[in-house]
Structure 1
Amino acid sequence: MSDVTRLRHALPLSQDINKALIDLDSAIAKAIDTAKAAGLPQGLIVAELHGHAHAQTHNMVKA
C-alpha cells in the first residue's frame, strides 16, 4: 500500500485533486439519478456502489 496517500498528510489538496474529486462526486450523483429515473431499485444501486467500493479497497490492500 505504499502508493496510497493519506489525505490528512496531503492537506491542503491541490486544485487538480479538488477538481477531480468534485467531478467524481458529480458523475456518481448523476449516475445515481439516472439509475433511479430508469426504475432501478434503491437496494440494487446501493449494492452496486458497495461492490465497487469493496473492489477498490481490495485493490489498495493487495498493492
Structure 2
Amino acid sequence: MGKVTRLYHTLPMSQDINKALTELDSAIAKAIEAAKAAGLPQGLIVAELHGHAHAQTHNMVTA
C-alpha cells in the first residue's frame, strides 16, 4: 500500500490534484449519461462502476 495517499495528509490539495479530480468526475458523469442514453440498464452501470472500484481497491491493497 505504499502508493496510497491519504487525502487528509495532503490538505489543502494542490490545484493539479483538484483539476485532475474535477476532470475525472466530469468524465465519469459523461460516460454514465452516454450509457443511459444508449439504453444500458442502471443496474448494469452501477455494477460496472462497482467492479472497477473493487479492482482498484484490490490493486492498492496488494501493491
By the TM > 0.5 criterion, same fold? Answer: yes
Matched, 1:41 2:41: yes
CA RMSD in angstroms, aligned pairs only: 0.4
Amino acid at match of 1:24: L
- How many residues are matched? 63
| SS in structure 1 at match of 2:30 | helix
Q: CA separation in 2, counterparts of 1:21 and 1:6?
A: 15
Shift of 1:43: 0.1
* Aligned-partner SS, 1:3: coil
Runs of at least 5 residues in structure 2 that lack an aligned partner in the other structure: none
> Once the 2 structures are TM-superposed, how far is the Cα of residue 61 of structure 1 from its aligned partner?
0.3
Report the AA paired with residue 4 of structure 2.
V
Identical-residue share of aligned pairs (%): 84
Q: Give every structure 1 segment of 4 or more consecutive aligned residues whose post-TM-superposition deviation is greater than 4 Å.
A: none
State the AA in 2 paired with 1:5.
T
| TM-score, length basis structure 2 | 0.98
TM-score (norm 1): 0.98
